[in-house]
Amino acid sequence: MYNHSGKNITEIAISCPGVTPFYSNNPGFKLVSYDATSKELMDFTTYHTIPSATTWGDASYSFNKKFGYATNKTMYENLSSDSLSNIHTKLDAIYTVLHGPAGYDISPGIEVKTEK
């Protein structure tokens, strides 16, 4: 999450896939790694499978590997040193797998629509 200028990261939020296939998604879960002393997030690995599988198999992706980040830095340090444009490009690769390329403007800011 960025400050009001859209240039400085102030905190990190991560999402997790659901284990249930009820909403037409393959089951998944996220394993989070953190520094034992500082409790800072270091990495996460997301696992996916298909409903008919009997095991979870190999990891689908690791945050640090997918984004090409250093493993000896916190997620905050890695993201803070990257540009917003690069982060959006990398996020598109993991969050739009099912739906193809993003159908929205990936520049800073999110259009908020309200019901009238």
- Give me the pLDDT at residue 37, please: 93
pLDDT in tens, 106-116: 444 444 455 55
- Does residue 55 sit within a domain? yes
Give how many domains the chain has, as a whole number.
1
DSSP string for residues in 4-40: TTSSSB---------S--TTS---EEEEEEE-TTT--
In a domain, 82, yes or no: yes
Instruction: Examine residue 58 and state whether it is found in any structural domain, yes or no.
Output: yes
Q: Is residue 56 part of a domain?
A: yes
pLDDT score for 102: 45
pLDDT at 77: 93
Q: Is there a domain that residue 107 lies in?
A: no
51: exposed, middle or buried (Cβ count in 10 Å: 0-12, 13-18, 19+): exposed
Domain-located, residue 24: yes
Residue 111 lies in a domain: no
Supply the range of the domain harboring residue 27.
1-101
Would 108 be classed as within a structural domain?
A: no
Q: Are strands 28-34 and 61-62 parallel, antiparallel or unpaired?
A: unpaired
Q: pLDDT averaged over consecutive 10-residue blocks of the chain (116 residues)?
A: 72 81 80 92 87 75 90 92 85 61 45 50
